[in-house]
Structure 1
Amino acid sequence: MKLSNDTAKAVPTKQFFVSMLTRDISLDDAILDLIDNCLDGAMRLANGGDVDYGKHHVKIKLSKDLFSIEDNCGGIPREVAINYAFKMGRDADDKRDADTETIGMYGVGMKRALFKMGTDALVKTRHGEDTFEVHIDSNWLSDKEWRELPIKVPSKAAEMLDYPGTSIVVKDLYPGVAKHFANAAFINDVETAISHHFTMFLQRGLRIELNGRSVKPVRVEVLVSRRKDGPAPYVYQKTIDGVLVSITVGLNTSRQYEGDSDHDEVGDFAGQRNSATAGWTVLCNDRAVIVGDKSRLTGWGDGIPLYHDQFIVITGIIEFRAKDAKKLPVTTTKRALDTSSDVWLESLVKMKEGMRVWISYTNQWKNHPREDQSVYWSDAKPMSLSQAIEAVSPRATKRRGSVALEFDPRKMKGVLPEPKESAPSGRRIVFSRPAEEVRLVSKMLFDDANEKPGIVGDKCFEIQLVKASRVER
């Protein structure tokens, strides 16, 4: 019997591929992926220069009947649409965005988002004067073959886009997706996720609308005095394997969202602190992967104390920047960290070092009135990571033989204020109130009904103490 040489099929079935591709991404992450694509378009439009985000917008609509997103970020070039944009994955020799600090790595973001939502998606784009559309419908999804998608010119002039950009409409939503898109709580969650993940772009002028409402950026800042002997945060900056790592750890402010003017300066040092941004915020190429993490993920409880109420004043910010997105310590969802990466593990050592500065500081001031610090901090301003590094760098040191820049406020005499007297004796106050009452007061004080009861009680006492002190004076 003569044996013949045959071949074995080694391609994934379309049903398996689509199912597995969407299984591990949440619905809100899918929406963020599509916004990421808009930003990538704006960066390509700038052709390596600085992007004027004030000229760009992204408009999103969620309803039980459809999802839509449109932008004015330059659109998709026809060549890119033909060869790359609708391909399921990125080829190893695809060098697009080699000089752009994007965060996409595998070329699945847009497709995964569309497949997650429904079975009918229309992608319409205009690049320059060239307008075309690509339709992905249920027939294509159910077809076993990986047939190429037709690229068509809209048949009616009214269907042309008015400006270079992209519009995506998804219909025939899956039942669970339709329920989420009609749920006000889910829409609020998406708004919060956008305000966190794209805070840096929003602060630079990008306009993102969700169901007609502009999204405000969350403010993640530390207090910095520009005085040579004034209080300043811990700062560290170094390039590790092609990734620029920037770290700052310091005291936070009470300002949370853009436009919060009541606490733009330290002023009332005993004022409300922003627990939402206490802990660690991690940025990758300007995207906030996590905001206000207080777990072992970012070092809490690993060689330093676990996070607790005393540390509500501490905020750490770390940013990773690289033109090769594969070097960033982030997963494909773009909102989870790859904590096994070498760049993350090396950076974590410095993150903990910065945390120890301020853990020691809060230990020193435990049981001392915060007002005792207010004079020393009176000229400190809330600053973002880049602003803090720029302000502190004249005081920082560069290690011999190293490109690292570092400023440790403990090593410069007088930078951190110390209590003048021993701590007054403390008394423990313990009382109980109904859970719903605690939630109600928490919502009023922190705009968060789920703040810890201990923090709510401490804040209530603090408010009354300030009033009592004014009466006493």
Structure 2
Amino acid sequence: MKLSTDTAKAVPTKQFFVSMLTRDIKLEDAILDLIDNCLDGALRLGNGGKPNYAKYWVKITLAKDHFSIEDNCGGIPREVAKNYAFKMGREPDDNRDSDTETIGMYGVGMKRAIFKMGRNALVKTRHGNDTYEVPITARWLDATNWDPLPINEPTEAKEKLKEPGTTIYVSDLNEGVARHFANPAFVNEVTTAISQHFTMFLQWGFKIEINGQSVAPVHVEVLVSPREDGPAPYVFRKTTGDVTVSITVGLNTSRRSEGDDDDADADFSGQRASATAGWTVLCNDRAVIVGDKSRLTGWGDLPLVPLYHPQFAVITGIIEFRAKDAKKLPVTTTKRALDASSELWLESLVKMKEGMRVWISYTNDWKNHPRSDQQSYWQDAQPLPLSKAIEAVASRKTAKKSSTNDEAGEASEVVEFNPKKNNVLPKPEEKKPSSRKIVFSRPAEEVRAVSKMLFDDPDEKPGTVGDECFKIQLDLAKPSKKRRS
């Protein structure tokens, strides 16, 4: 074979790269990607530990003619901007986050989000006292070459950021994006996505505003009794190398949204479905999915686990994957979808279904029994998030703890607690064959009036009020001793 001095170009065209990069990501996910970058910045400020998230904030504006996001999360160091931040992908030698549990993997999030939204953007950042800006223009996008982006210095004091952080302003919005940003329904969708995806950070005090409105977290919790022999969720935690998998499955609080009826005697027939019923999956504190009730998380994997049914609305499962190397997490580049083919995910499904079986059996046992029959067992139980639930249960003497080596020789630490095997779950008393269930509704103001009369408290649970009313009428219906004599 004769060698030639000719070469064949093997680089992607800019138009192809940009169009393919943005095709498979939703607009709301692009916005979440930018918030992820803000949080990763705050995490880096923690110097390997958990930062005080209450010190940091993100402000987002969605308008028909522009998008903006600003934060105070430390900004982008100039050397990082020159060598990494604006590259279309991450270099193998980019190990900046090797000691922190960030979520970024491929180095495309910020660029992909900008390209998804519009054709002109200005990234302004301050790191320490160094402020600079990088424009991404339509002219640069339309050019066939990959010229470096300019780094400009602000000339006036008003152009400098007041504190370390980053501001991204996108204009010349793409077709359809402007309509979405001007649509209140889309703004609500983004707000909901933020409240779910970043729920843990919001609970830790991190502040996110969208169009001037603060975003509140969605609480995903399970009930745990502080008593050693009290009811508790199923718990499993395994750490192998630098990857930790934590699982808990238990009862949720089953509270409907504010203003809805709170029927304390509702049974497991779905009368009080919880928004967080099903499975919530966390990766490095981000909620990848919330309240999943599909085959993805094991529902309908017959014969072990049935299809999701309203009877199971009181069951919540939470699983979290933690790793300093984000590539080991079973999550896609959008960070809002699972890599269901991941070996780590498939292994975890086995334990997830084991925990589900415990509570499916529990709801079957209590089916057709009023919720009030369980109240004495669960009276001291508190709703706890994943980490606190596992800590509380792992501290019990009956929790199983072990250390082993896996097939690859890596040391593994395991914590397990099965409430069914440990006999801490309440069991219903056998009912008489003649027992009947009574269900009726009355206007809320009438229930409050009767509650005030019976208990000197207008806010007693409706089921308790109804049960007391029945007992009073039952006493009146019984023949008196005088009449029997």
Q: Structure 2-normalised TM-score?
A: 0.85
1:242 and 1:223 mapped to 2: Cα distance?
29
1:24 and 1:47 mapped to 2: Cα distance?
34
Which residue does the alignment assign to 2:252?
Answer: 252
1:301 and 1:400 mapped to 2: Cα distance?
33
Which residue does the alignment assign to 1:215?
Answer: 215
1:42-81 map, 5 Å: 42-81=42-81
C-alpha displacement of 1:422:
3.4
Question: Quick check: 2:254–2:314 contact (8 Å CA) kept in 1?
Answer: no
Question: Quick check: 1:368–1:424 contact (8 Å CA) kept in 2?
Answer: no
C-alpha displacement of 1:181:
0.3
Question: Quick check: 2:279–2:293 contact (8 Å CA) kept in 1?
Answer: yes
Post-superposition Cα deviations, 1:368-407, rounded to whole Å, max 9, x if no partner, equal 1110000110000000000101110022102464621100
Which residue does the alignment assign to 1:324?
Answer: 325
Which residue does the alignment assign to 1:468?
Answer: 466
2:371 and 2:105 mapped to 1: Cα distance?
47
Which residue does the alignment assign to 1:337?
Answer: 338
1:226 and 1:269 mapped to 2: Cα distance?
24
Which residue does the alignment assign to 1:299?
Answer: 298
1:386 and 1:312 mapped to 2: Cα distance?
22
**Quick one: which amino acid aligns to residue 420 of structure 2?**
R
Among 420, 426, 430, the residue aligned to 1:417: 426
Which residue does the alignment assign to 1:152?
Answer: 152
Question: Quick check: 1:219–1:256 contact (8 Å CA) kept in 2?
Answer: no
C-alpha displacement of 1:243:
1.4
Post-superposition Cα deviations, 1:38-69, rounded to whole Å, max 9, x if no partner, equal 00110111211221000000000001010000
2:285 and 2:274 mapped to 1: Cα distance?
22
Aligned residues: 436
C-alpha displacement of 1:276:
1.4
Post-superposition Cα deviations, 1:427-471, rounded to whole Å, max 9, x if no partner, equal 899xxxxxxxxxxxxxxxxxxxxxxxxxxxxxxxxx986653242
C-alpha displacement of 1:269:
6.8
1:391 and 1:17 mapped to 2: Cα distance?
49
CA gap 1:194/1:400 in 2 versus in 1, 3 angstroms: closer
Question: Quick check: 2:264–2:464 contact (8 Å CA) kept in 1?
Answer: no
Tell which deviates more after alignment, 54-63 or 38-47: 38-47
**Quick one: which amino acid aligns to residue 287 of structure 2?**
A
Which residue does the alignment assign to 1:455?
Answer: none
Which residue does the alignment assign to 2:382?
Answer: 381
Post-superposition Cα deviations, 1:247-291, rounded to whole Å, max 9, x if no partner, equal 00000014589xx8999xx99574974521000000000000000
Structure 1 unmatched ranges of 5 or more: 430-462
Question: Quick check: 2:122–2:169 contact (8 Å CA) kept in 1?
Answer: yes
Q: Secondary structure at the match of 1:374?
A: helix
Question: Quick check: 2:265–2:463 contact (8 Å CA) kept in 1?
Answer: no
Which residue does the alignment assign to 2:480?
Answer: none
C-alpha displacement of 1:3:
7.7
Question: Quick check: 1:283–1:320 contact (8 Å CA) kept in 2?
Answer: yes
**Quick one: which amino acid aligns to residue 29 of structure 1?**
D
Structure 2 unmatched ranges of 5 or more: 405-411, 439-460, 472-485
2:420 and 2:202 mapped to 1: Cα distance?
34
**Quick one: which amino acid aligns to residue 277 of structure 2?**
A
Question: Quick check: 2:402–2:413 contact (8 Å CA) kept in 1?
Answer: yes
Tell which deviates more after alignment, 180-189 or 387-396: 387-396
Q: Secondary structure at the match of 1:333?
A: coil
Q: Secondary structure at the match of 2:123?
A: strand
Q: Give % identity.
A: 71
Which residue does the alignment assign to 2:361?
Answer: 360
Q: Secondary structure at the match of 1:168?
A: strand
1:242 and 1:117 mapped to 2: Cα distance?
36
Question: Quick check: 1:117–1:177 contact (8 Å CA) kept in 2?
Answer: yes
Which residue does the alignment assign to 2:14?
Answer: 14
Q: Secondary structure at the match of 1:411?
A: coil
1:393-404 map, 5 Å: 393-395=394-396, 396-399=399-402, 401=404, 403-404=413-414
Q: Structure 1-normalised TM-score?
A: 0.88
Tell which deviates more after alignment, 110-119 or 391-400: 391-400
